[in-house]
Amino acid sequence: MDVRRIVTGNDASGAAVVVADQRVAPVTVGLMPGAEFHTVWGADAAFSLPTDGCEPEHKTWFPPPDGFRFGLFTLAPASAQWPPDFDFAGALVELDERLPGMIDVLEPDEPGMHTSDTVDYCFVLSGQAQLELDNGARVDVGPGDCVVQNGTRHRWHNPTEEPCVMAVALIGRARRA
């Protein structure tokens, strides 16, 4: 997907101005063939307004408590497969480099299953997907559906041959012990 990010800020006199207008390239990783991750905006800590529009620091895919992320996630079609000569160890290194922190929440024995310390707002823009929870229950979602994922264990499936594109907002929260 081609994603354009337009960022506003305030100039020295306080007037609203466009400070950036650029394309956001997708992040792809071999471990998830056909998937795309577009990081549009995020911050690792709360900040005050107004700002000059400079991009706040954000180091990992999932935000820390009080941080946030906004982006797009494309879930690959069901037919997406690893190539026959797939290097799993190399793919794990690549995942950690290209989507820092992702590997920390994924469960090695349950591919795709993960739990993050975030409230996730997932809005389906196109395609179809299934949200799977702990007990194997699945919920079908499609364009116009919004999932509020409250830090629970889950994974996504795409049972179709069309990509599923979701807008995602991730809000970091502290988990109670």
Mean pLDDT, residues 8-22? 95
Spell out the domain ranges in the chain.
26-172
Answer yes or no: is pLDDT of 128 > 90.
yes
Q: How confident is the model at residue 93 (pLDDT cuts 50, 70, 90)?
A: very high
| pLDDT tens digits, 36-71 | 999 999 999 988 898 889 999 999 999 999 999 999
Q: How confident is the model at residue 177 (pLDDT cuts 50, 70, 90)?
A: confident
Domain 26-172 -> CATH class: mainly beta
Q: Of 42, 73, 74, which is closest to residue 59 (Cα–Cα)? A: 42
- Would you call 151 exposed, middle or buried from its count of C-beta atoms within 10 A (0-12, 13-18, 19+)? middle
This prediction has a pTM of: 0.92
